[in-house]
Amino acid sequence: MKAIRVHAFGEPEVMVLEDVAGLEPASGQVLLRVEAAGVNPLDAYIRSGRFGMLPSLPYTPGRDAAGLVERVGEGVLGVKPGDRVYVGGSLSGTYSERALCEERQIGRLPESISYAQGAGIFIPYATAYRALFQKARALPSERVFIHGGSGAVGLAAIQLATAAGCRVAASAGTEEGRKLAREQGAERVVDHRSEAHGEEVREWAQGEGVAVVLEMLANVNLSQDLDLLAVGGRVMVIGSRGSVEIDPRAILSREACVLGVSLFRASDKEMASIRAALEAGLADGMLRPIVREELPLEQAPLAHRRAMEPGALGKIVLIP
- Site residues (vs ligand NAP, CB under 6 A): 40-42, 123-124, 127, 147-154, 171-174, 177, 192, 216-217, 220-221, 238-239, 261-263, 307, 310-312
For ligand NAP, the closer of residues 22 and 264 by Cβ is: 264
For ligand NAP, the closer of residues 37 and 238 by Cβ is: 238
Pairwise CA distance, residues 75 & 8, whole Å? 36
Burial pattern 106-118, b for ≥16 Cβ within 10 A else e, equals bbebeeebbbbbb
For ligand NAP, the closer of residues 61 and 151 by Cβ is: 151
Smallest separation (angstroms) from ligand NAP to the CB of 191: 9
Using Cβ positions, the residue closest to ligand NAP within the complex turns out to be 151
Smallest separation (angstroms) from ligand NAP to the CB of 223: 12
Radius of gyration (C-alpha) of the chain in whole angstroms: 20
Smallest separation (angstroms) from ligand NAP to the CB of 148: 3
In this structure, the strands spanning 257-260 and 64-72 are: unpaired
Q: Is the peptide bond before 110 cis (omega within 30 degrees of 0)?
A: no
Smallest separation (angstroms) from ligand NAP to the CB of 81: 31
For ligand NAP, the closer of residues 220 and 246 by Cβ is: 220
Assess contact for 70 and 98: CB atoms under 8 A: yes
Smallest separation (angstroms) from ligand NAP to the CB of 172: 4
For ligand NAP, the closer of residues 22 and 242 by Cβ is: 242
Tell me the residue ranges of DSSP E strands in 76-165: 84-88, 98-102, 106-108, 143-147
The residues with which 16 forms a beta bridge, in sequence order, are 5
